[in-house]
């Protein structure tokens, strides 16, 4: 049976910007090997698989190499597809059951609002070789599990990074967030980039899950709970953030750029 598949640009209101994700709405669960094969075929940073269930939807995310525990842009894309395709009525909240627990999405005037868990980071030393592979210096290093947050001197330091990806792959990490305060003339509070060659993504265009760590970090730095963020990849993407004690609200828009059918 043919399965409809969508490609959606997330955290943008303009096609061919933001972060592309593939979304499959399945009538029933498929095996892991099939989902990995579809993700490899799509060759995007994430492919999302949605299965209806009594209290919402099962949602899983795969990179071309592996399944991941949390993905913001593919969740945003999934909610967008459910409303746009009519699977969910407009105004109905989307409830996703995931490896990170229950995630919700609602429609607002400003876009789609995701409620995600806070990812805490603590001060740490940079792993040997990390700063050299990135070609930079950090004024602060934080660690969240097997991911690192690097606070750089300014926005230009973030934008001008040219990582040595073969050198990065020699390290045993999961992801690296580099960030800095936005330039004074910018409408944003901070900028960032995200590198994850260890899961098949040299640079992710816009990383919602990273902002579950970046948002709380910058909330403490600047002393406010409402933030605007720009991920300064080649495609670029914008997010609005609300930081609470135990969750982060990520707000962004999405655009469908392709629909098709899987025949296998």
Q: Which residues contact 128 (CB under 8 A, 6 or more apart)?
A: none
Cβ count near 255 (within 10 Å): 19
pLDDT in tens, the chain (264 residues): 789 999 999 999 999 999 999 999 999 999 999 999 999 999 999 999 999 999 999 999 999 999 999 999 999 999 999 999 999 999 999 999 999 999 999 999 999 999 999 999 999 999 999 999 999 999 999 999 999 999 999 999 999 999 999 999 999 999 999 999 999 999 999 999 999 999 999 999 999 999 999 999 999 999 999 999 999 999 999 999 999 989 999 999 999 999 999 999
Chain position carrying tokens 């330091």: 157
* The pLDDT of residue 75: 98
* The pLDDT of residue 237: 96
Catalytic, out of 46, 155, 203, 249: 46
| Residues β-bridged to residue 151 | 140, 179
84 is catalytic: no
Q: How far apart are CA 164 and CA 246, in angstroms?
A: 35
User: Which tokens belong to 68?
Assistant: 């991941």
Using DSSP bridges, classify how beta strands 237-243 and 226-231 pair: parallel, antiparallel or unpaired.
antiparallel
Q: How many CA atoms lie within 13 A of 20 on its CB side?
A: 18
pTM score: 0.95
- Helix, coil or strand: residue 12: coil
The dihedrals phi and psi of 163, each to the nearest 5 degrees, come to: -60, 150
């Amino acid at each position: 049976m043919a399965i409809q598949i969508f490609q959606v640009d997330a955290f943008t209101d303009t096609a061919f910007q933001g972060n592309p994700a593939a979304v499959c709405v399945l009538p029933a669960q498929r095996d892991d090997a099939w989902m990995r094969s579809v993700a490899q075929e799509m060759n995007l940073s994430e492919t999302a698989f949605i299965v209806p269930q009594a209290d919402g939807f099962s949602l899983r995310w795969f990179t071309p190499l592996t399944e991941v525990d949390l993905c913001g842009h593919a969740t945003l894309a999934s909610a967008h597809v459910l409303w746009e395709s009519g699977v969910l009525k407009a105004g109905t909240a989307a409830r996703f059951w995931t490896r990170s627990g229950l995630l919700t999405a609602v429609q607002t005037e400003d876009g789609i609002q995701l409620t995600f868990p806070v990812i805490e980071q603590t001060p740490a030393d940079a792993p040997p070789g990390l700063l050299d592979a990135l070609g930079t210096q950090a004024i602060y290093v934080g660690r969240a599990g097997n991911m690192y947050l690097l606070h750089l001197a300014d926005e230009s330091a973030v934008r001008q990074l040219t990582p040595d990806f073969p050198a990065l792959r020699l390290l045993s990490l999961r992801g690296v967030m580099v960030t800095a305060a936005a330039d004074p003339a910018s409408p944003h509070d901070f900028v960032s980039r995200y590198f994850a060659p260890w899961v098949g993504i040299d640079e992710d265009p816009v990383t919602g899950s990273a902002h579950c760590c970046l948002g709380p970090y910058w909330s403490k730095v600047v002393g406010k709970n409402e933030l605007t963020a720009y991920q300064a990849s080649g495609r670029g993407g914008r997010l609005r953030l609300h930081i609470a004690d135990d969750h982060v609200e990520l707000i962004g828009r999405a655009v469908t750029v392709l629909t098709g059918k899987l025949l296998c």
